[in-house]
Amino acid sequence: NDGTKLVQFQDKRDHLIGKVIDGRFEILERIGQGGMGNVYRAKQSSVGREVAIKVVKPSLSADRVAAKRFLREAKLLSRVSQANVVVVHDTGQAQDGALYLAMELVDGRTLSSLLEEVGELPAPRVMNIAMQICDALEAAHQLGIIHRDLKPSNLMLVDRNIDDIKLLDFGIARWRG
């Protein structure tokens, strides 16, 4: 009550959690966020599997350039079929107009989080991870897709075998076709 202007903070609750997108995907929890939007763990009701749903921010869904970029990511990523590249299941538009991409849910952790925790990795482990990255990029390059955002936070180490990786986020990929 001293006259100091108070700062208004945004509501931390995520309005999508608990909602059903496009009548098919129940949003369970947010598992990541990026420049274009958020990534959620969701349940696909038609087949009962858990998926990752990348939902574009509403403001970007209304932006033609951002929407085009997002749809390009979906199209490009769906063409790559390789064990070290995340699988795209579907894409669509939610009732509120937000674009989404339903993908394989990869349980694990990013390479960046591992490196923050342990620092350097032993050379044999680095070689194994590097070979998988090369395999993923080669599969994309054979289709004329250039990832352009290769970094540790876009590489997931799979829980079931910690040295298996999945390449994520083709959001700024280019197609040279």
User: Alpha-carbon distance 143 to 176, whole Å?
Assistant: 9
163 is catalytic: no
> Whose CA is closest to 171, among 69, 57, 99?
69
User: Alpha-carbon distance 85 to 99, whole Å?
Assistant: 21
| Active-site option among 22, 149, 163, 164 | 149
User: Alpha-carbon distance 56 to 59, whole Å?
Assistant: 8
10 Å Cβ neighbour count for 119?
A: 7
| Contact call for residues 143 and 78 (beta carbons, < 8 A) | no
The two tokens of residue 57 are 């921010």
> Whose CA is closest to 151, among 167, 138, 162?
167
| Contact call for residues 154 and 168 (beta carbons, < 8 A) | yes
Catalytic residues: 149
